[in-house]
Structure formats: structure tokens, C-alpha cells
Chains A and B, each alone.
Chain A
């Protein structure tokens, strides 16, 4: 049904998106908690910086990543010299670019659901002997689950569609960084590839739709479980 090339493109895209979300999620939860529950000078600035990828052109994000994480970049050169790890021109770079672009979406959704939790419930847990860490693990995290789920799906979908930052940072290398959107873009440069393009478009729609339906079903189950909290 799918050609080997298509399978390669799809599995690369899924791998990039999954790793982007997997690495982004713990950081996003931490950032969301800090923004929702703490006050410190310069918080507005941090908040703004976290949202930057949403508002600056993706090509700027890609270029910044190149400067920071490229072989000669400030962080990239250190990583390469010390542990031989490199983002440059392979799928890990694509995952980093996708993750950075999707990060604000994840933080936003999780932060909203943490802010919706009644802090008096967390206080009650502390009078029952729970440390801040245990309160976070047993009260905050489970009650924020709907937001974490929707943030994850949103970020996953955003990662699958990432184009500008990826092509700027790690270029368009078949089998390495050529994800679905980049493949469609490449095919559009070739005359008479309309059918191939159409097939990839359909595949994108199916994957995105499946993710949405799955998350909807999951979040309905989770919300039913903690309905008391939503009221």
C-alpha cells in the first residue's frame, strides 16, 4: 500500500515527533509548575521568552538553533567535543527543532490546568504529612493530567508539521531530516509528482486525526475520573 520511501518518511516523522514530545514533556511540566505556582522577579520575561517560538518566524528559531547547537555552535561544539554527540544534519536535530517549536504549546496547556487546581487541596495534603514533592506527585500531577494530555497531543501534532525551523537548522536530507512536510515540499519541486504529494497529504491527515481522536478518548476517561475537580 505504502511505498518503502513513504514508510521511511512516515517513520522518520513519527520518531522525530515522539522524541520531541518525550524530551519536552518533563521540561514543560517543570516550566508550567514554576509559572503557575511561583513568583519571582523577571517572571514576565521568562514567560515571554518561553513563548518566543510561537511568535518569531520559524526560520529565526532554526537559525538560532544553528548558532547554539551547530557543530561550531556555543553548546553544540562542547557536546561534540566532550561526548561526541551532535545534532547537526540528522534526525536528532530535527527532533530538537520540533521540540523547541512545540514547547510553548505544551507549557501553556499544562500551566492552565495546574492553575485550575484548588491550592487549598494541596495545603490539606501537607497537613496530612506530605512533603511538597509528594504533594506534586500525588495531587498536582494527577489533577493536571487532562492538561498534560492535551498539551502532549497538541505538541505532537505541531512537531509532525514542523517545517521552517527544521529545514533551517538541519537542512533537507533524505532519510535523515526529510520529515513529511519537507518531503511534500521537495516533491513540489519535481514536475508530475502530484499523486505522490496527494498520498503524503492523506497520510498526514490520517495521523493527525488519529492523534486527536485518541487524545479525546483518553482525556474523557481522565476527566470522568476526576470530575469533582473540574467543578
Chain B
């Protein structure tokens, strides 16, 4: 459990953030300047807020009332920075082990062998950091933070300084780390695809304030959060389970709160959890139940909200059991009379697997 309430003024910028999360991976999302890094720095003890409190699990790290301010070295907070910040005079092995001598540690953590295998860095152990590529450095930095056996792991846009190829190289490692490590993670990013792949709980920040806190699937389907729905790739996250495999047609049935979805067959056993993502522009809306169409996934639902028109398009929130977002043209919305309360059918043209099936 993470409980953060922070007030701090930086001249003209005022940070006034408040959130609580029970998730394994909590994402802090917002444009640059929204206050994301200020929040993680306060959690790590690198800056002192003007007021508020920070609690991780049962440990009070900061409380302006009592008052408590634990120094960074006593907090047990692992921190993966935007830059790798490796120690240039130490080999990869010594870098990895630097934090691991912390007596006892604040969590079980993972041992050196596991981390080396997980991050694929066994061939780098005796090298100095300047002989590593950007992606390798960041993997070592992640391993170093994990090995300090923290009670919480902070990741401040760990992929922001890498090119797309390096980013795609690290994301799977990150995903494995997040799922293997029994330690909560706070992940800062302004890349929604990283968040939808990694996070359970989403905290949306804007101008130093928390706009919304909640499960990723719920928050991404909201229409009132400007920065999230303005994007071209706006869409909905669905957490579901594999319900059946169909070997004849090579299809897998996934059940989620809104019903069943058919997707091209994937690996995984029946009952495994996975995360799907449907782009808003991949959903068409029909006001009558269509027959004789090729679309496999048709979900009945009720329009709950109609977003502000944006150029030629308009976003529609549909409740199919859970809210999902569809993006249609303004003309269609007008001609079909799409309004809240209207019963419609959502035709889903494509579904992406965001997080592979796991038991």
C-alpha cells in the first residue's frame, strides 16, 4: 500500500498531489511539467515537501504532522532514474551489489543470479559502464535497484532516453521484473503504451494536481481526462481471462467483465490472465443489431457519455458491462443520433494483446 499526500511550492509551480494505491504497479502519468518527478523525488527522500505524508506499507517515511523525515538511505526505496547513473569506476557486478549489503533489506527481493538471468546481463558482469550500450546500462540500473531489496521501487521514465529499438528491447525485461518482483512499483511515464503494458493503477497528474486515480482500465475509458483522450491512439484496456481455444479456426475466446471476445489464437492455458487493448478508432457503432457482417466481436451496450467534438471526430463512451471508448465521425454521431442512454451495438474490428497470458 502506498499512501502519498504532498504539498510543495516551487516558486510559481505548486505541487498538491494525493493518491493511494494498492496495486502492484502504479503509474504516474502526465505531460512533462505535471510534477511526476517531483513526487517520486519526495517519495525517495531526495526532496522535502512543505506538508503532507508518505507511507509505504506500514512504514511512515515522511509526515509533516509528527514530524518524520527519513533520509533516503534509510527509506529502502529503490530508484531507477531517467539516466542510468551507474558508478563509472565500478564493474557491472560491483554496481549490482552496491545496495545489496544493506543489512536485512526491506523485502525478500531477488538474488543476484535471478536478476542477472532476468535482465540478460550475465555477459556484462566484468565490464565497466562506459563499455555498455544505453539499453544495457539501463538494464544494469534496474538490476541494481532491485538488488537493494527495496520496499518500493521507483522508476522515473527509465526508457525515456532510449531510442525505439532499445525501448522495445527493455520493455519485456521490465514487464518480467514487474511481475516477478514481489515489491510494489511506482512507474512514471508520459508514454501510454508503457503504462498499459505495465501498470494496474493509474494516477493522472496535471499541473501538479492529481486528476484521477484508479484501475488502468477504468481511467483509460474516461472521457473527461483531456490528456488521455486527446491522443490519436486513445483506447480502452480490458483485463480478462482465456475462456477457450478453438483449434479449427485458430481463435481464442477471452472473457472479460463485458462479455466474450474472439481473438486470433494466443499461447496460454484456459484461466490465464491477460490484458487486451482496443483502440477507440477500431470500434464502429450500429444502432440496430447487424446480421450478415464479418466482424466477429459485436457487443451490445448503452451509450453513457458523448465527448466534446474534436475536428471531424467525437469520442463515445459505451457501457458494455465496463466502459469502453469508441471514436466515430461527428457526422455519424449526428446522423445516428448517438446520445447518452441509447442502446447500440459496438463492432470491434481489432483487438491487441497488451500483456501476454500469465497464470
Give the interface of A toward B (CB within 8 A).
Answer: 118, 120-121, 123-131, 138-139, 142-143, 225-229, 231
Contacts and interface: CB of A to CB of B under 8 A. Distances in A.
Given A128-B73, A228-B129, 17 more contacts: A121-B88, A124-B85, A126-B46, A127-B45, A127-B46, A127-B79, A127-B145, A128-B78, A128-B99, A128-B102, A129-B74, A129-B76, A129-B102, A228-B86, A228-B88, A229-B88, A231-B130
A75 to B, nearest CB: 38
B327 interface: no
Interface residues of B, number: 29
Nearest to A224: B128
B89 A143 contact: yes
B44 interface: yes
B120 to A, nearest CB: 21
Interface in B78-104: 78-79, 81, 83, 85-89, 98-99, 101-102
B245 to A, nearest CB: 45
28 contacts: A121-B85, A121-B87, A123-B72, A123-B85, A124-B79, A124-B85, A126-B46, A126-B71, A127-B46, A127-B75, A127-B78, A127-B145, A127-B148, A128-B102, A128-B145, A129-B73, A129-B74, A129-B102, A130-B73, A131-B73, A138-B98, A139-B87, A225-B128, A226-B88, A227-B88, A228-B86, A228-B129, A229-B88
Contacts of A118: 85
Given A124-B79, A127-B44, A129-B73, A229 B89 contact: yes
B89 A126 contact: no
Interface of B: 44-46, 71-79, 81, 83, 85-89, 98-99, 101-102, 128-130, 144-145, 148
Main secondary structure of the interface of B (DSSP, over half): loop
B10 to A, nearest CB: 18
Chain A CB within 10 A, most for which of B71, B73, B99, B144: B73
A123 B46 contact: yes
Nearest to A139: B87
A128 B148 contact: yes
B95 to A, nearest CB: 10
B122 to A, nearest CB: 21
A139 B79 CA distance: 17
Contacts of B75: 127
Contacts of B144: 128
B77 A127 contact: yes
Contacts of B99: 127-130
A194 B46 CA distance: 66
A138 B99 CA distance: 12
